Structure 1
C-alpha cells in the first residue's frame, strides 16, 4: 500500500465554483458541445469519454463538491461476481480505464485484487465452481493454510477465492482528484453550486444563468424528480440505504479487498452456480438476520491503515437517516468472523451510503433526441460507469460504438 498518510480527506478539489446563493445572476454561462448534470462517478465518466472524443464539456452540480453515492462507497472496482453479460463486460472495461486514468490523475490504487474468505465448506464449493467456469479466468483458490499465512484472516476458514482483477481507490480522494484532472488536462469546465432547472438543448437553464449545449447527459443519482421524472419513473427506482463503518488501524495490512460467504449469495455472478442453494440454506439457518438486513461483508483499507467495513441494504422511497445498532453489530460480527480484528476495535466513523436501485443494473433513457438520462441502479457505479459512458455517448453524438470483450 505504500506509505501511510494519516488523512483520508482529499487535499484538492476542483477550483472553479458556480455562483453562490444570493450572488448576481450570470445571464450567459457560455457554451459547450456537451452539458453533464451531476459530478458523481457517472457524470465524470461521461465528461472523460466526451473530452477524449474531442468535445467541449461543462459539468454542473448543485453541491460544492461530489457528496453523494460515489464518495460514500468502498471505492472498489469490482469485476469478479458481477452479473454475467453486459455488467461483467462493462466492469472489465471500466477497470481498464481506472488503471489508465488513476496514475495520471494522482489517484493511488490502495488495494489490488479480491480475497473472498470462505467460512463454510458450502461457500468453498461455490468458489470452486466459479473458478472452473468462464467468469473465473485468472482466479484461484486459497487453502486454509494459505489463508492463515496472510496473518490477517481469522482462524478456521474453509479456504478462499482470490481474484486479481479488482482495484480499490479512496473515493473521498478519487472523485475530487479525477475532477481536477479533467479540468486541468482535458479542459472540462465545472460549475459547482449550480442547480439545473431545465434541460432542453441547445439551452440549459440553471440557477446561475443560461448555458448553451448541443447535447446533455443527466446523471441524477437519487434525485428522481427534478429532471425528466417520467423517464425515470418508468424504471421504478427506489433508494437503497447502506450502513458504513470505519475501524481503527488493526496493525496489519490487507492483501486485497475482502468479502465473505454472504457475498456469494448476493452477487449475481455466482447466482447460477449449483452450490448456491445449499449455501443459502445454511446461511438462512445460521445468519437469517444478516440476510434480512441485506448484509454482505466488504472490508478495505485506507492509506492511514484504517478499515472501511460494511454494509447493509435497506430499500424505500425515502429511507430513514438513522443507523441501527443491531445492524452495525451484525456487520462487525461478520467482520470479526473473517478478520483478526483487535477485541477492542470500535468504529471511529459511521455514515450512511445511498444509491438508486431498480430491476435492471443500469438504464439509459432518451426523453429528447439530444438528451440522455443515465442511472446506475445496482451499486456498481465505480465498477461500470466508464464503460457505460463510452457506450451511451457513442449513441448520443453518433460516435462508433465501443467494442467490449465477450
Structure 2
C-alpha cells in the first residue's frame, strides 16, 4: 500500500533536513528518504561552522543570518551543543587589515569589530605574527557528527517527520517517488541530492555546469588552550566573497600570489574550530573534478598546517584523524529549479549548506506552498 504525505524530501543531509523542518513548522506531514543508513556525506565531513561573517553580499548573507538564527532556535530543543560563538578573522598582512577595515564599513559588519593584536589575547592563544583581527559575535559552531543525527532524531520525535533510511529514490514524478522500498505519494517533493549529480535530474546539473569539490581536513590533538570562537586567516579573505569582492582584496590577492602561491593553487585557507574534548578541527583545501579522487595528499595537509603555525606561532598538535569530503560546486551559491510541477530540485553549490541551508529552505518551502517567506519561518 502506498504511503501518502504532504511533502517528500529526497536526501537527509543538512539541506534536506532544513526543508523538512520548514515544512513541519507549517504543520505538514513530511517523509525524508535517504539511501544511507546514517549521515555520511558533506553534512558531517565539515567544521560545523555556521558562518555568517564573510558570506557573499546580498541574498547569501541574508540566508546565513537567518540560518544562524534557526540553529539558535533549534539547538537547545534538539540537544545540540553550540560549542563556539563568533569568529576571529586574523590579519597577518597590512593588505588583509585593509580588507577587514573596508568590510567594517559595509552593512555586513553587524556584530563585528576590529582589535589590534594586543587586544586579541582572549581570542587567540599563541604568539603568531599578526597585526590584529576582526571579531564577530554572529557566527556559531556545532559538532556536525552529532548535530545532524540529533537534528534528525528531534524532527522525528517532536515534529513527526518519517525517515526512510537505506532507501534509494529511483524516479521522481509529480506527486510520486519510486523507491527501493516501494512508491511514496506526496503532494509536493523536494530533491536535495547533495553532490549526486547523476541519479535524479542530471540534465539540470549539466546545464548549470555543476561539478564536485574535494576538500581535505584534519583533527588535531588538544593544544592545551581554548578558543572561544573559530579562527580564520588572510587566505580566507580571498575565498569568502563578502571580503573577496571588495576592491581592497585585489592587493591582498596579489601579495598572496607572490608569497603563498602553493596555498592558492590548492585552494587552501585556514579554519580552526575546537571540539568539546579540546581537539581542533582544521582545514581545508579545494580541488575540482567531476569525480574527485578519494585520496588526501600529505603536501596539501602540510600547507594547511603551515598556515596554522604562522597564525598561532607554534607547531600544530599531532594529527589524530584525516579525511576528505566532497560537495557540489558551481559559479552560483545554490541551484533551485522546478523540473516538474510540484517538484523542486535544491542543491547548495558553494559549500555553505550548514551556513545557508535553513534560510534557503524557508524560501523554497514558501514558494512551493505559495506563501510569504515569513509564513514559512
Bin for the TM-score computed over the shorter chain: over 0.9
Give the deviation of 1:142 after TM superposition.
Answer: 1.2
Distance 1:234 1:344 in 2: 43
Equivalent residues in 2 for 1:366-385, closer than 5 Å: 366-385=338-357
CA contact (8 A) 1:39 1:60 kept: yes
Q: Contact 2:366–2:375 (CA<8 Å) still a contact in 1?
A: no
- Per the alignment, do residues 325 and 129 of structure 1 end up closer, same or farther by CA in structure 2, a change over 3 Å counting? same
Confirm or deny: 8 A CA contact 2:220 2:316 kept in the other structure.
no
Q: Please, which runs of 5 or more residues in structure 2 have no aligned partner?
A: none
Q: Secondary structure at the match of 2:292?
A: coil
For residue 269 of structure 2, what is the aligned residue in structure 1? Answer: 296
Deviations 1:41-99 (A, max 9, x none): 00000000000011100000000011101100111111111001110110011111010
Q: Kindly indicate whether residue 229 of structure 2 is the aligned counterpart of residue 259 of structure 1.
A: no
1:55-134 to 2 correspondences below 5 Å:
55-134=28-107
Of 308-317 and 222-231, deviating more is 222-231
- State how far apart, in whole Å, the 2-side matches of 1:385 and 1:296 are: 22
Pairing partner for 2:23 from 25, 46, 50: 50
- Contact 1:240–1:357 (8 Å) recurs in 2: yes
Partner of 1:12: none
3-state SS in 2 of match to 1:66: coil
SS at structure 1 position matched to 2:101: helix
1:71 aligns to what SS in structure 2? coil
Query: Which of residues 314, 328, 335 is equivalent to 1:363?
Result: 335
Counterpart contact for 1:76–1:167, Cα < 8 Å: yes
Deviation at 1:370, TM superposition (A): 0.9
Could you list the per-position Cα deviations for residues 305-338 of structure 1 after superposition, in whole angstroms to 9, with x for gaps in the alignment?
A: 1000000000010111111111000000001111
C-alpha change, 1:150 and 1:195, in structure 2 (3 Å) is closer
Distance in 1, Cα, partners of 2:161 & 2:82: 24
Normalised TM-score (structure 2):
0.97
Equivalent runs, 1:194-209 vs 2, <5 Å: 194-209=167-182
Deviation at 1:202, TM superposition (A): 2.4
Please list, as runs of the form range in 1=range in 2, the aligned pairs for 1:176-325 lying within 5 A after superposition.
176-325=149-298
Partner-residue secondary structure (3-state), 2:170 = strand
Runs of 4+ in 1 over 6 A off after TM superposition: none
Distance 2:88 2:236 in 1: 11
Uncovered stretches (5+) of structure 1, i.e. residues with no partner:
1-27
Separation in structure 2 between the aligned mates of residue 167 and residue 60 of structure 1, nearest angstrom: 28
CA distance in 2, matches of 1:89, 1:247: 33
Query: Larger deviation: 270-279 or 328-337?
Result: 270-279
How many residues align? The count is: 377
CA deviations on 1:366-398 (whole Å, 9 max, x unpaired) are 010111000000011001111111111111122
TM superposition shift of 1:399: 2.1
- Secondary structure of 1:402's counterpart equals helix
Residue 155 of structure 1, CA deviation: 3.1
**Secondary structure, counterpart of 1:361 in structure 2:** strand
Deviation at 1:340, TM superposition (A): 4.7
Distance in 1, matches of 2:313 and 2:260, equals 20
CA deviation after TM superposition for structure 1 residue 210, in Å: 1.4
Secondary structure of the corresponding residue to residue 360 of structure 1: strand
Query: Following TM superposition, by how much is the alpha carbon of 1:344 offset from its aligned partner in structure 2, in angstroms?
Result: 6.5
Partner of 2:129: 156
Alignment partner of 2:373: what SS? coil
Q: TM-score, normalised by structure 1?
A: 0.90
The answer as to whether partners of 2:19 and 2:358 remain within 8 angstroms in 1 is yes
